Chain A
Amino acid sequence: MANFNEVFDRWGGLIWESTLATFQMVTISLLISIIIGLPLGILLVITRPNKSFDNKYLYRTLNIFINVIRSIPFIILLFALLPFTRLVVGTSMGVRGVIVPLVVYTAPYIARLMESALLEVDKGVLEAYEAMGIKTKDIIWHVMVREARPSIILGITIAVIGLIGATAMAGLVGAGGLGDVAYRFGHLRYEPEVMYVTIIILVIIIQVIQTIGNILASRAKKD
C-alpha cells in the first residue's frame, strides 16, 4: 500500500496527463475517421456489382487503396506520412502531428468494418423500401445504416481499441500518452511500477470500452 502511494505521489500527475492525452488523440482521430470511414464503407457497398450505384472502377480502386493502406503497420505509416502530415497540419510533432497518421490508419479500417456491417442488412428490407418508391439516398441512410447500427457500434468499438493500441507509438513524435509513459519510464528508465500502472489503466480502459460497446449494440438491436 505504501508502495502504491509512493508510486502515485511520484507519477500520478504524469499518468493522469498521459491518460488525458491518450483520450484526446483517440477521440479526435476516431471522430474524423468515422466521418471519412462510414461514407467509404457505404461507397464500398453501393458500388458493388449489382448494387444501386454499381461502379466497377470506383469499387476496385477503393478496394485496392484501402488494402494498400491497411497493409502498412502504423509505426511505418507514422514515418512515411511525415511530409504529408506537415503539409496538412503544419507540424508533424505533438498531438496535432499524430492525428493525421492515426486517421489515415483508422479510417480505412473503419471503412472495412462499416462495409461488413452494412452488408449484413437484409436485402429484402431494402427491396421493400425500393418498392415503396423511396429515394435511394433515404434507403441508404434510413434503412441500411439504421438497421446496421448494432454491427456499426461493435465495429467502432473494435476500431477504438485498435486506435488506443496505435496511440502507444505516438510518443515517437512527441505526442505523449499512456503508451509513451510506459515505454519511456517503464522501459528506458527502468521504473517497472510505472509500466505496471499504465498496463492496468489500459486494461481497465479497454474492458470498459468493450463493455459499453456491447451494451450499446445490444440496446440498438431491439430483440
Chain B
Amino acid sequence: MIELKHVSKTFESKHQQVVALNDVSLQVNKGEIFGVIGYSGAGKSTLVRCVNFLEKPSSGQVIVNGKDLGQMTVEQLRAARQNIGMIFQGFNLLKTATVYDNIAIPLKLTGVPADQIKEKVEKYLAIVGLSDKKAVFPNQLSGGQKQRVAIARALSHEPEVLLSDEATSALDPETTDSILSLLLKINRELGITILLITHEMHVIQKICDRVAVMENGQIIEQGHVIDIYTHPENTTTEKFVSSIFPSDIPIEIITELEKQGPIIQLTFVGPSADQPALSMLSKQFDIHTNILSGNIVQLKDQPFGKLIAHIKGAKVETDKALNYLREQGVQVSEVKHNG
C-alpha cells in the first residue's frame, strides 16, 4: 500500500545541512497498522510527511497505492493526496468554523457534490462519536474531541491510507487510549491502512501490527511488534521495550540472591501469558519462587508478559523447573548481575 524506496531527505539551511532521512526503505501492507517509533529528532515526522509529499524527498521513491508520487503532476498529486488522510498532534482545525463546517469545507473544496456533503459529515461524525457537537466551535472542545473531529475530517474523504503524526502526543493517557481504540476501529471496520508515528511504546503495543524503530534518520530495526518485544536487537529498541517493563533491580540484591539460586527472566507470549506457570513450579519441584518485578501487557492480538523471578533451591531442582517452564512455551533467560 505504501512503499518507500531508499528515501533520503536533507534540509539545507544557510550554514548547515541536516540529514533528516538517510536511505529509508519501508513497506506498509494493505490493511495493516504500521508504527514508527523513535526519539525526538529521529526523523519520524519527516518520514510521514514524505508519504504525502508535504516534504519532497531529496532522493528515493514514494509509492502509494502502486503510484509513484515523484512522477506526478501537481493535479495528479492533489488527487493522490485526497486518498491519503492525515492527522496531526496539533489537530489543525479551523478555529473560525464549527465542527460541521470543519468537515464540510474541505469536502466542498475537493469537489464533493453539495447533496452528499451533509450525509458524509453526519456519517463520519457519528463514527467518531461527536454527532451532538455539530454546531460547536473547536475552542469549546477538549483535545480528544478535537482529534476526533480531525479524524472525521480525514475519514470523510474516504481515503485508503491514514497517516498519523503523533496524533495522541498532546493527550492524556485515558484520552490517548480512546483515540487509539478509534483508530483500531476504523482500521478494522473501514479497512483503512494506517501509518502512525509516535515516541510512546504504549501506542505501538496497543494497535500496531508491525513497527519500525528510527534513529538518526535511519530505520534501525523493524518487524512484527511481538518479535520486536521478545527479541529486540538494537539498544535503542531495547530501551523502548523496557520502557514498558521497568525492572531496575539493585545490583546488591542480585548478587546476594544469586548465591541461593538463579535469577531468571521469563517472557510469556500469547496463551502462555495467561497460565499460572510460575505458581505451578513450587508445587511440582522442591523450590521457592520469588517475583522481583513483572508486568503483563496486552499487545494488539495477544498478551505479552515479562517477569523477573528468583528461584531458590538446589541446582538439580532449579534446572528441572526451568526445563518445565520452557516446555510450557515460556522463554527463559538468566539475568546476569554483571550485565
Chain B interface, >50% SS class: mixed
Chain A residues whose C-beta falls within 8 Å of the C-beta of B109 in the assembled complex: 129, 132, 134-135, 138, 142
- Known contacts: A142-B105, A222-B137. The answer to whether A132 contacts B94 by CB under 8 A is no
Would you call B219 an interface residue if the criterion is a C-beta within 8 Å of the partner chain's C-beta atoms?
no
Does B84 contact A134, Cβ atoms closer than 8 Å? no
- Known contacts: A138-B109, A142-B109, A222-B139. The answer to whether A131 contacts B93 by CB under 8 A is no
Chain A interface, >50% SS class: helix
Does B86 contact A128, Cβ atoms closer than 8 Å? yes
| Nearest 3 pairs of A and B residues by beta carbon | A133-B81, A128-B92, A133-B82
Mark contacts of A125-149 with chain B using CB atoms, 8 A cut-off: 1 yes-contact digit, 0 otherwise: 1011111111100100011001101
* Chain B interface residues toward A at CB < 8 A: 52, 54, 77-82, 84-86, 88, 90, 92-97, 105-106, 109-110, 137, 139, 150, 153-154, 157, 163
Does B79 contact A133, Cβ atoms closer than 8 Å? yes
Min CB–CB distance B206 → chain A (angstroms):
25
Does A220 contact B96, Cβ atoms closer than 8 Å? yes
Expressed in whole angstroms, the Cα–Cα distance for A149 and B97 within the complex equals 12
Does A132 contact B106, Cβ atoms closer than 8 Å? yes
Q: Which residue of A lies closest to B157 (CB)?
A: A132
Expressed in whole angstroms, the Cα–Cα distance for A217 and B90 within the complex equals 24
Candidates B81, B96, B97; contact of A131 at CB < 8 Å: B81
Given contacts A125-B92, A147-B94, 20 further A-B pairs with CB under 8 A are A122-B95, A125-B94, A128-B150, A130-B54, A130-B81, A131-B52, A131-B86, A132-B86, A133-B80, A134-B78, A134-B106, A134-B109, A134-B110, A146-B94, A146-B96, A147-B95, A150-B96, A221-B96, A222-B97, A222-B137
Expressed in whole angstroms, the Cα–Cα distance for A34 and B175 within the complex equals 45
Does A132 contact B110, Cβ atoms closer than 8 Å? yes
Chain B residues whose C-beta falls within 8 Å of the C-beta of A131 in the assembled complex: 52, 54, 81, 84, 86, 163
Expressed in whole angstroms, the Cα–Cα distance for A221 and B163 within the complex equals 30
Min CB–CB distance A24 → chain B (angstroms):
32
Chain B residues whose C-beta falls within 8 Å of the C-beta of A124 in the assembled complex: 88, 90, 92
Chain B residues whose C-beta falls within 8 Å of the C-beta of A135 in the assembled complex: 78, 109
Q: Which residue of A lies closest to B138 (CB)?
A: A222
Chain B residues whose C-beta falls within 8 Å of the C-beta of A6 in the assembled complex: none
Expressed in whole angstroms, the Cα–Cα distance for A134 and B157 within the complex equals 12
Chain B residues whose C-beta falls within 8 Å of the C-beta of A138 in the assembled complex: 109
Interface residues of A in 86-144 (CB under 8 A from B): 122, 124-125, 127-135, 138, 142-143
Candidates B54, B80, B92; contact of A122 at CB < 8 Å: B92
Min CB–CB distance B288 → chain A (angstroms):
58
Question: A122, A133, A134 — which one has the most chain B CB atoms within 10 A of its CB?
Answer: A133
Pick 11 A–B contacts, CB within 8 A, sort by A: A128-B86, A128-B92, A132-B85, A132-B106, A132-B157, A134-B110, A142-B105, A146-B97, A147-B94, A220-B96, A223-B137
Chain A residues whose C-beta falls within 8 Å of the C-beta of B110 in the assembled complex: 132-134
Min CB–CB distance A50 → chain B (angstroms):
11
Chain A residues whose C-beta falls within 8 Å of the C-beta of B52 in the assembled complex: 131
Chain B residues whose C-beta falls within 8 Å of the C-beta of A150 in the assembled complex: 96
Expressed in whole angstroms, the Cα–Cα distance for A223 and B136 within the complex equals 10
Min CB–CB distance A187 → chain B (angstroms):
47
- Known contacts: A132-B157, A135-B78, A146-B94. The answer to whether A223 contacts B54 by CB under 8 A is no
Chain A residues whose C-beta falls within 8 Å of the C-beta of B88 in the assembled complex: 124, 127-128
Does B86 contact A222, Cβ atoms closer than 8 Å? no
- Known contacts: A131-B84, A132-B157. The answer to whether A125 contacts B78 by CB under 8 A is no
Does A133 contact B78, Cβ atoms closer than 8 Å? yes
Does A147 contact B78, Cβ atoms closer than 8 Å? no
Does B82 contact A132, Cβ atoms closer than 8 Å? yes
Mark contacts of A193-223 with chain B using CB atoms, 8 A cut-off: 1 yes-contact digit, 0 otherwise: 0000000000000000000000000001111
Min CB–CB distance A127 → chain B (angstroms):
6
Q: Which residue of B lies closest to A148 (CB)?
A: B96
Min CB–CB distance A120 → chain B (angstroms):
11
Question: A129, A132, A138 — which one has the most chain B CB atoms within 10 A of its CB?
Answer: A132
Does B54 contact A125, Cβ atoms closer than 8 Å? no
Expressed in whole angstroms, the Cα–Cα distance for A128 and B157 within the complex equals 13
Min CB–CB distance B291 → chain A (angstroms):
47
Does B139 contact A223, Cβ atoms closer than 8 Å? yes
Interface residues of A in 143-169 (CB under 8 A from B): 143, 146-147, 149-150
Does A222 contact B95, Cβ atoms closer than 8 Å? yes
Expressed in whole angstroms, the Cα–Cα distance for A39 and B95 within the complex equals 23
Min CB–CB distance A147 → chain B (angstroms):
6
Question: A122, A135, A222 — which one has the most chain B CB atoms within 10 A of its CB?
Answer: A222
Chain A residues whose C-beta falls within 8 Å of the C-beta of B157 in the assembled complex: 132
Expressed in whole angstroms, the Cα–Cα distance for A222 and B90 within the complex equals 19
Chain B residues whose C-beta falls within 8 Å of the C-beta of A146 in the assembled complex: 94, 96-97
Expressed in whole angstroms, the Cα–Cα distance for A138 and B78 within the complex equals 13
